[in-house]
A and B are shown apart, each in its own frame.
Chain A
Amino acid sequence: MLLSMDKELIQIIGVTLKMSFFSTLISCLIGMPLGVLIEKGSFFGRGLLKKLSSTLMGLPPVVAGLIVYMLFTRYGIFGSLGLLFTVEVMIVAQVMLITPVVLCLTSSVVSVSGNPLKETARGLGLKRGRTLSLFLIHNRRALLSVVLTAFGRSIAEVGAVSLVGGNIQWKTRVMTTAILLETNKGKFTFALALGIVLLIISLIVNVSASLLSKGGKDSDKM
């Protein structure tokens, strides 16, 4: 059944992975440093930022999508860019959704292991940069699970991406919006089959990520 739409299915999986990869990457680049800063730094409004980010974790995807839609619509602030209904704008909406999650999870990783680590680093007389890299190596498992959580949220999201992406065939259709479409067509079995494909993709990503992290462990020993 799935074989019949081979070419299109591969294209949809491609768009899905591209969107999830870039939104995870950007969210981590923004969220992880901020998560460390929030826990370790001392600056004005730190508590507020922490509360804000944990509140934003509960932001309904449709609302995030709506905000991005309003920004990029023809009459919106960024309307002239003509980015609505593109993969790029889907990534923007995803980044908005996932960054708070990455931030909060990172800061909880820091709060658990940060202090003893800092003391050790101070004991060894390490500078800030070295302390940070020590932190990263020490917590790579926990941080990897942050990345995977972000990726999981991104790949499973439907409300925001269907609103700003528009579910356009051969362009912005991803696995979740394809599932939604098949459901709306009344092809429930096919929709379920697509759901299983989505799960398998998630499984592959998770397994390869954990294999990678094991590889990292080996190289540490050398």
Chain B
Amino acid sequence: MKKLLALLMALALVFSFAACAGNEEETTAAADETTAVSDTTAASEEGTSDETGSKTIRMSTTTSVNDSGLLPAILPVFEQKTGYKVEVQSAGTGAAIQKAKDGNADLILVHSKASEEAFVDEGYGVERIPFMFNYFVVVGPKDDPAGIKDSENAAAAFKKISSSQQKFISRGDESGTHKAELKIWGDTAPDAANDKWYVSAGAGMGACLTMANEQKAYCLTDKATFLANKESLPELDIILAEGEDMKNTYSVIECDAEKLPGVNTAGAKALIDWLLSDEADALIAKYGEEQYGQALFTVIED
């Protein structure tokens, strides 16, 4: 027994030595790397010393453009070209705008016209620039129990869902999609307290789609998020697409440095200019073809 213990101790010692040695090597390697990185940053800073401001751009955006993979696909091109580093924070439109109002962003990219205009009117934003759009779609159970397939637009489809009392999942989180949904309901918005078929989930798009799949319910979603998650949503299909009341416009707004000190104006301007450039237009218009067999966003021509 004692022998065994001694053997174990010896083994443990050997291992800890080995671990220490390994760590040391790693740390030196890491240190080397850091010096290398600081060298290059120093070099790049020298190269662009005539430009003022930081090389980091903070973008506050909505989940649909980030989680659909659009920004991760196109932003590296901008970063490589300009040397800027874009930090993307994604949340529902409500939170995305609030973060910018709290001074935690240099520009916003969101999709809720009324909130955007308020943002600019209150002096937080410089100018609202709509630059791309897509369509919301109504997804639902494949057999379409409410029979909305041939509806003229989303409002007509919603009326049928309401009168047949089929389950409908609402975001309920004051996001851009939720606001668009409320606009489509108009005066006929259901009351979640009494209408049991109307489920106010208070969750993100992905969670709501999962819930709709689980409960065989209808849901208004942006096309990009639905296509990106389609594999895990076997019960659902796009039932209604491209009604005139389902257009979903995305805008960029530069945060106003006068109202929000610390905003990287130069960086925000550079990124907005690039998003409006032909190069970005081509990347956006092409995005999704490879992965989903169709483009997810349409560029607004200026």
Using a CB–CB cutoff of 8 Å, the interface residues on chain A facing chain B are 8, 73-74, 84-85, 162, 166-171, 173, 177-178, 181, 183-188
**Alpha-carbon gap, A85 to B215, bound state (A):** 9
Q: Does B94 have its Cβ within 8 Å of any Cβ on chain A?
A: yes
Partner of B95 from A84, A85, A178, A184 at Cβ < 8 Å: A184
Q: Are A166 and B207 within 8 A (Cβ)?
A: yes
A166 CA to B102 CA, complexed, in Å = 29
Instruction: Please name the residue on chain B nearest to A183 by beta carbon.
Output: B95
From B98, B214, B235, name the one whose CB has the most chain A CB atoms within 10 angstroms. B214
Extra contacts besides A73-B214, A168-B202 (7): CB < 8 Å: A162-B203, A166-B203, A168-B199, A169-B202, A184-B173, A186-B94, A186-B99
Tell me whether A166 and B200 are in contact (CB under 8 A). no
**Bound CA–CA A167/B174 (angstroms):** 14
> CA of A169 to CA of B196 in the docked complex: distance in angstroms?
10
> Nearest CB to that of B98 among chain A residues?
A186
Q: 17 interchain pairs (CB within 8 A)?
A: A73-B214, A74-B213, A85-B215, A166-B203, A166-B207, A167-B203, A168-B199, A169-B172, A169-B201, A170-B192, A170-B193, A183-B95, A184-B95, A186-B91, A186-B95, A186-B97, A188-B102
| CB <8 Å contact, B172 and A184 | no
Cβ-based interface call for B219 (8 A): no
Cα-based distance from A167 to B211 in the complex (angstroms): 11
A167 x B97 contact (CB < 8 A)? no
Number of A-B contacts (CB under 8 A): 65
Q: Which residues from 170 to 197 on chain B have a C-beta closer than 8 Å to any C-beta of chain A?
A: 172-174, 192-193
Number of interface residues of B (CB under 8 A): 26
Q: A85-B211, A85-B215, A181-B173 are in contact. Are A168 and B95 (CB under 8 A)?
A: no
Cα(A188)–Cα(B96), bound, Å: 12
Q: Could you tell me the distance in whole angstroms from the C-beta of A76 to the nearest C-beta in chain B? A: 10
| Nearest CB on A from B252, distance (A) | 18
- A73: B residues at CB distance < 8 A: 214
- Expressed in whole angstroms, the Cα–Cα distance for A185 and B172 within the complex equals 10
- Judged by a CB distance under 8 angstroms, whether B125 is at the interface is no
Per a CB cutoff under 8 Å, which of B92, B98, B203, B214 touches A84? Answer: B214
B62 to chain A, nearest CB (A): 11
Residues of A within 8 A of B192 (CB): 169-170
Q: Smallest distance from the beta carbon of B233 to chain A beta carbons, Å?
A: 11
A167 to B207, CA, bound (A): 10
Alpha-carbon distance between A214 and B207 when the two chains are bound, in angstroms: 46
B201 touches A167 (CB 8 A): yes
When the two chains form the complex, which single residue of B94, B102, B193, B215 contacts A184, counting CB atoms closer than 8 Å?
Answer: B94
In the complex, which residues of chain B have a beta carbon less than 8 angstroms from the beta carbon of A171? 199
B40 to chain A, nearest CB (A): 37
Closest approach, in angstroms, between the C-beta of A68 and any C-beta of chain B? 13
Residues of B within 8 A of A168 (CB): 199-202
- Please, how many angstroms separate the alpha-carbon atoms of A171 and B102 in the complex? 33
A167 cross-chain contacts in B, Cβ below 8 A: 201-203
The residues of A that contact B96 with a CB separation of less than 8 Å are: 186
A74:B214 contact, CB within 8 angstroms:
yes
Chain B residues closer than 8 Å to A74, beta-carbon distance: 213-214, 235
Q: Chain B residues near A183: list those with CB within 8 A.
A: 95
Nearest residue in B to A186 (C-beta to C-beta)? B98
Docked CA distance A155–B43 (Å): 53
Shortest Cβ distance from A75 into B: residue: B234
Which residues of the other chain, B, contact A173 by a CB distance below 8 angstroms? 202
Contact A184 B91 (CB under 8 A): yes
- Inter-chain CA distance A154–B227, complex, in Å, is 36
A82 and B233 alpha carbons, distance in the complex (Å): 18
B202 contacts which chain A residues (CB < 8 A)?
A: 167-169, 173, 177-178, 181
Report B61 CB to chain A, min CB distance, Å: 13
Q: Which residues of A contact B200 (CB under 8 A)?
A: 168-170
